[in-house]
Amino acid sequence: MLAALAPALGAGAVAKLGGVGLAVPASAQEAHEHTMPAGQPAAHDHGDVPFHPGFKAGATVDHRANGFHPTELLRDFDHGRTRRLASGRVLREWELVARDHEIEVAPGVKFPAWAYNGRVPGPALRAREGERLRIRFGNGSAHPHTIHFHGIHPAAMDGLPGVGLGIVEPGKSVTYEFDADPFGLHLYHCHVTPLAEHIARGMYGGFVIDPKDGRPAADELMMVMNGFDTNFDLSNEVYAVNTVGFAYMNDPIRVRRDELVRIYLVNVLEFDPVNSFHVHANFFHYFPTGTSLEPVELTDTVMQCQGQRGILELRFPYKGQYMFHAHQSEFTQLGWMGLFEVE
């Protein structure tokens, strides 16, 4: 059974999975019956764990069809275009377009997403404290949407239906403009009702405002914790970081030994009250919301409610593969797990 999974998960991943008693079902039939795949030790019998019936063992997600690859999303920060205003201040501009776009969120599991710029999560927008920001938003979706940014700005720019620029109907566009304030790790998302659906469909992204003097040099990774309600029963069937379940088991995140790694961690998960991040065999400094340059905690596990986010800083002192995952085991088994490959 584990050998059959190798193409999907990679040899190292399978070893890890075997080691901790986690596995994806060998066939859709097994999943329907809610039984563990054969060969699992009794001590790891998870009874009627709700594996997603669509998970296809031996297959990988078609990232090309999705239009994005989770490994590329990690380090893909969108700095937009900049120019100097007469006042000397920097104006930073982006263009975001919403459209309806089917994506594959786990091997064999398709989801009709609504996406900013064709990707879920949307672009990781990155600015610097004190800049003027201008975001032109065009709605190419069949549904009304907005962009609601977290940050400090006037009500008219808040992306809320009935306030200021309000709802953006299909085919229409608006321009949001405000100051980059305060520095930290924020997010943006659609705010049209039903809100849970507009968010759960994929309309969100990370939003980084760097402090005026920046942060120490590091290998920086954007991780948006999300999930997918693929049968629309108001609970999630797939959990992930950056959308594709098990993606970083197939393609471990390569980092360098002793180098500072900075993770921008955002939780946008709908239908579950909390999410979490745990890293194996290591500890990280945690900066809640990234609004201070002093960490509040040295830990190996952090919990976030929806909309919460924070910056993690760590170094890996030893080579090898280190797992990271939600510490809610159900989320882990349904896709929210990955590996760091320290080289």
Residues 202-241 that bind Cu ion (CB under 5 A): 203
Question: Which of 34-42, 57-65, 142-150, 327-335 is the region at the interface with Cu ion (rule: CB under 5 A)?
Answer: 142-150
Could you give the CA distance from residue 327 to residue 342 in angstroms, rounded to a whole number? Answer: 21
Does residue 199 bind Cu ion (CB under 5 A)? no
User: In 3-state terms, what secondary structure has residue 333?
Assistant: helix
Strand 124-128 versus strand 274-279 pairing type? unpaired
In the complex, the smallest distance separating the C-beta of residue 74 from Cu ion, rounded to whole angstroms, is 25
The stretch near Cu ion (CB under 5 A) out of 31-39, 191-199, 270-278, 322-330 is 191-199
Q: Is 187 in the site for Cu ion (CB under 5 A)?
A: no
In this structure, the strands spanning 274-279 and 301-305 are: antiparallel
Q: Please report how close the Cβ of residue 182 comes to Cu ion at its closest, in angstroms.
A: 26
Q: Which long-range contacts (CB under 8 A, 24 or more apart) does 297-304 make?
A: 301/276, 301/277, 301/327, 302/265, 302/276, 302/277, 303/274, 303/275, 303/276, 304/225, 304/265, 304/266, 304/267, 304/274, 304/275, 304/276, 304/277
- Name, in order, each residue with C-beta under 8 angstroms of 74's C-beta and a sequence gap of 6 or more: 221, 222, 223, 242, 253
Binding flag, residue 186, Cu ion (CB under 5 A):
no
Q: Which stretch binds Cu ion (CB under 5 A): 64-72, 85-93, 141-149, 334-342?
A: 141-149
How many residues touch Cu ion under the rule CB under 5 A: the total is: 5
Specify whether the CB–CB gap between 138 and 96 falls below 8 A: yes
* Residue least distant from Cu ion (Cβ): 190
In the complex, the smallest distance separating the C-beta of residue 195 from Cu ion, rounded to whole angstroms, is 9
- Tell me the C-alpha distance between 328 and 219, whole Å: 27
Residue with smaller CB distance to Cu ion, 69 or 99: 99
Query: Under the criterion CB under 5 A, does residue 200 sit at the interface with Cu ion?
Result: no
Segment contacting Cu ion (CB under 5 A): 45-53, 60-68, 190-198, 222-230? 190-198
Contact criterion met (CB below 8 Å) for 77 and 220: yes
Question: Residue 127 or residue 192: which is nearer to Cu ion going by CB?
Answer: 192
Least distance from Cu ion to the Cβ atom of residue 190, Å = 3
Among positions 13, 147, 192, 261, the unique one binding Cu ion when judged by CB under 5 A? 192
- Please choose, out of 195-203, 212-220, 306-314, 335-343, the segment that lies near Cu ion by the rule CB under 5 A: 195-203
Distance, CA of 161 to chain centre: 25
Q: How far is the CB of 161 from Cu ion (least distance, A)?
A: 10
Which of residues 167 and 302 has its CB atom nearest to Cu ion in the complex?
167
- Nearer of residues 128 and 198 to Cu ion, judged by Cβ: 198
Among 16, 198, 262, 325, binds Cu ion (CB under 5 A): 198
Beta strands 204-210; 124-128: pairing state = parallel
The amino acid at residue 113 is A
For residue 219, the 8-state DSSP code is: E
Q: How far is residue 233's CA from residue 303's CA, in Å, rounded to a whole number?
A: 25
Least distance from Cu ion to the Cβ atom of residue 266, Å? 18
Q: Is residue 190 at the binding interface for Cu ion, with CB under 5 A as the rule?
A: yes
Closest contact distance (angstroms) between CB of 127 and Cu ion is 23
Considering only 101, 145, 153, 186, the residue that binds Cu ion (CB under 5 A) is 145
Residue 40 CB coordination number (10 Å):
17
Residues lying near Cu ion in the complex (CB under 5 A) are found at 145, 190, 192, 198, 203
